[in-house]
Amino acid sequence: MENVKDLLVEIKEKSELIVDLAYSAIILDSEDLAKEVEKLEKEISELTYKIRIVSMLAANTPDEAEQLAGILQMADSSNNLANAAADIAYLLDLDITARPFLPSLFMKADEKIHVVKVYPNSSIVNRTLGELNIEVESGVRIIAIKRGRNWIYDPEDHVRIKADDLLIIRGTEDGYEFLDRVARGEESWD
């Protein structure tokens, strides 16, 4: 039962994230971000499959079966939601003139877009981008910060990183992996 709950929470969180990312892929005209969306859609699809199996095994009584059916319905709808979000990002795969809704960002071929979530225990929380000197120290540039429902695009040096921020970054794979570990609190910035 604990497993089912954890899976549902993960599905819910990922399907909220995918909506954000799908729209930002369009807004940033970012095929890399669209790829993140595609990856996330697959993850949610796999989680949905997994939660079905785990639910079957967890149901021992009719009451439990009823509860689990409710949970599966929620997981299923979240999965549909993720598919619809992914459809939005798929627009970037079409070679249409409709795409430039908003100014597109210039991207170097060898660099990738990633999303990094900042956890409350990370050493970068409450520090400004200027203090951290992120670009020089990690080789990663923060394109945008998603804070609650707000976007801070191309954030300036005085912007302070907060817990639960989503950082949309552009940079090398190494830089991304380092920043991601720091943002998870698994490694210290300094």
Among 31, 43, 131, 135, binds its own copies (CB under 8 A): 135
CB neighbour list of residue 21: distance below 8 Å, 6 or more residues apart = 33, 36, 37, 40, 85, 89, 115
Task: Yes or no: say if 145 and 81 are a contact pair by the CB < 8 Å rule.
Answer: no
Closer to its own copies by CB, 44 or 182: give it. 44
The yes or no reply on residue 63 touching its own copies (CB under 8 A) is: yes
The alpha helices in the chain, defined as continuous H runs, are 2-27, 31-58, 62-90, 129-132, 134-138, 173-183
The yes or no reply on residue 49 touching its own copies (CB under 8 A) is: no
Closer to its own copies by CB, 64 or 187: give it. 64
Site for its own copies in 78-107 (CB under 8 A): 78, 80-81, 83-85, 87-88, 91, 94, 96-99, 101-102, 105-106
CA angle 174, 175, 176 (to 5 degrees): 90
Task: Yes or no: say if 58 and 129 are a contact pair by the CB < 8 Å rule.
Answer: no
- 20-29: string of b/e by CB count within 10 Å (b at 16+)? bbbbbbbbbb
Among 150, 156, 158, 190, binds its own copies (CB under 8 A): 150
Contacts to its own copies by CB under 8 A: 5-6, 8-9, 12-13, 15-16, 19, 23, 26, 63, 66-71, 73-74, 76-78, 80-81, 83-85, 87-88, 91, 94, 96-99, 101-102, 105-106, 108-111, 119-120, 135-136, 139-141, 147-150, 162-164, 170-172, 174
